[in-house]
Amino acid sequence: MKLSTLQEIRYGYQPKLPPALRGTISGITAETGGATESVADRKELQEIFPHTYGKPIVTLQPRGTNESSGKKRTVGVILSGGQAPGGHNVVAGLYDALKAANSTNVLLGFLGGPGGLVDDKKIEITDEIINRFRNTGGFDIIGSGRTKIETPEQFAAARQTCLNNNLDALVVIGGDDSNTNAALLAEYFLDKGDALQVIGVPKTIDGDLKNEYIEASFGFDTATRTYSELIGNIARDANSAKKYWHFIKLMGRSASHIALECALQTQPSWCIISEEVEAKKQTLNQVVAEIADVVCHRASKGENFGVVLVPEGLIEFIPEMSELISQINDLLADKAGEFAALPAGEEQVEWLTAALSPEVTGVFAALPRDIQLQLLMDRDPHGNVQVSRIETEKLLIAMVQGELEERSKKQLCPGSFSALNHFFGYEGRCAFPTNFDADYTYSLGYNAFVLIASGLTGYLSSIRRISRPADEWVAGGIPLTMMMNLEQRHGSRKPVIRKALVELDGAPFKYFASHRSEWARQTSFVYPGAIQYYGPPELSDTPTMTLRLEQGESL
């Protein structure tokens, strides 16, 4: 028998499309609803986006005739920001739709993210290339990058690349920051009088690019299942050896959706949700005390082991830390030259300590030196702290250890505490997409082309009703400006897509909150095992618990 790899077998997987996208592209038309508004700062955003603000929501229907769908087109595509499983299938769906509309259409992939557009570095996607990437993880087909197109020169260069390549449209596959860039480009091109369309595709494992019309960002499903498999394996190890506490930091730069979904899937001893910490205005010491309570309770039953999930973005949600970080951000933006002139390390810490306001100096001073230095590391091009490089899980272990020692001295906590730290992030970003992500991303890409063929610009590709089988999925688009507000970035207020954080009155958090004390008191681990690509649909095709709960389904 010839042996095949999963990779070879997955090339042959045929992703499912929503019913509206199954017929010929000329037979799909866009139905528009009423005008839309941004989530906040309406007046200012209307002024920043005079051409694209307020456009209607669009639903694609398999009826009528789109006379211009077969017109010859050249389309560019960019993969932007952090990798997320399914990116290759967005490109595959886009490619297949574009070729189905007119076999002479051309798809250009810009290399290494938005920087490839600015520098005009690209390849033409062909059958031969795309067939080696169908249903696979990663962004390696054309690479990705985090370049932010923000200076007038970068906008002009991006436009010049589009003109040089006779582009009709550009598809930006990215998260909130990248799609903010897509919105700005769409507006810029219209302002210049170009007929160049821009369509965004909602990507990010973080799951924070969503609303009523974007029910999930792609990659979240696969990434959380990958982490949950690993957490389950660790939990089982903990339950076997019964001697370690495992502190597991999980990716998700701001929102705690990943930690929450993994908690729902694995039922750990404890899971911190950053949004709750912020809402309760908890201090770092209070977060630590809660974990210590769980450790002591379990120790009283002789269970000196457990699993604690820590969302990557926690540090920015603890009010005292958030104020500290915001002051550091402003100082690094305003006095960048002064700061850069200092030798890295001690002197930078001293300079900063002197420049901070008295309210946060103590908070900064109380942090271990490693964490102080991690807070000073370069911001990403969008001005974000690189939280994946701040070792919150180690900070928590050290602080919980200290708290337990104090309690032990007062005979308040029995048992031993031996902790190990883990960080799961990059492990999940390039996994083979689940069937859900493979279908969803292929549909998003296919849909993006149909939005282009419908003459739209400044839209985000939207597939709805995705907690249901693909036969019930609804295809369409929502205007990018609808998701925007103004936020402080690099020291000034900028238009950005608002991140969707965990809602404390939402069904996923409520379900978690009503079960967590039981999971803390009594070992309740669930071991989800590996992602299933074939087999019974209830194992291979079910969407995340977050999505099902958000859509009103029961678990």
Where do contacts with ligand FBP occur on this chain (CB under 6 A)? 81-82, 84, 146, 175, 203-206, 251-253, 312, 387-388, 429
CB-wise, 387 or 501, nearer to ligand FBP?
A: 387
For residue 221, count CB atoms less than 10 angstroms from its CB and return exposed for 0-12, middle for 13-18, buried for 19 or more. buried
Residue keyed to tokens 């995705």: 466
Rounded to whole angstroms, how far apart are CA atoms 70 and 62? 16
Beta bridge partners of 276: none
According to DSSP H, which parts of 200-318 are helical? Answer: 220-241, 257-266, 274-279, 284-300
DSSP 347: H
Q: How far is CA 73 from the centre of its chain?
A: 30
Instruction: Identify whether the C-beta of residue 110 lies closer than 8 Å to the C-beta of residue 117.
Output: yes
H or E stretch including 118? helix 114-118
Nearer to ligand FBP, 84 or 190 (CB): 84
- 206 as an active site residue: the answer is yes
**Taking the complex as a whole, how short is the minimal distance between the CB of residue 240 and ligand FBP, in angstroms?**
30
Q: Please, what is the minimum distance in Å from the beta carbon of residue 439 to ligand FBP?
A: 20
Query: Using CA atoms, how far apart are residues 478 and 200, in angstroms rounded to an integer?
Result: 10
User: C-beta of 354: minimal distance to ligand FBP in Å?
Assistant: 30
Who contacts 39 (Cβ-Cβ below 8 Å, separation ≥6)?
482, 483, 484, 485, 498
Q: Look at strands 197-202 and 459-464 and give their pairing.
A: parallel
Taking the least distance from each CB to ligand FBP, the nearer of 102 and 485 is 485
Shortest distance, position 251 Cβ to ligand FBP, whole Å? 4
3-state DSSP assignment of residue 260: helix
166/537 Cα distance (integer angstroms) = 44
- When the beta carbons of 460 and 507 are compared against ligand FBP, the nearer one is 460
Continuous segment of H or E residues that includes residue 422: strand 419-424
Q: How far is CA 508 from CA 133, 202, 544, 547, 548, in A?
A: 34, 21, 10, 8, 9
Residue 315 token pair? 């540090």
Q: Which of 168, 176, 177, 206 is catalytic?
A: 206
> The tokens 């849909």 sit on which residue?
447
CB of 386 to ligand FBP, least distance (A): 7
How many Cβ atoms from other residues are within 10 Å of residue 148's Cβ? 22
Enter the DSSP assignment of 110: E
Name which of 306 and 495 has its Cβ closer to ligand FBP: 495
The residue among 96 and 261 lying less far from ligand FBP, judged by its C-beta, is 261
Report in angstroms how near the CB of residue 208 gets to ligand FBP at its nearest: 8
Coil, helix or strand at residue 79: strand
> Measured from the CB atom, is 252 or 383 closer to ligand FBP?
252
Nearer to ligand FBP, 69 or 80 (CB): 80
Strand residues in 300-396 grouped as ranges (E): 306-311
Distance from C-alpha of 93 to C-alpha of 443, rounded to nearest angstrom: 6
The three-class DSSP label of residue 349 is: helix
Interacting residues of 8 by C-beta distance below 8 A, sequence separation 6+: none
Active-site residue set: 206
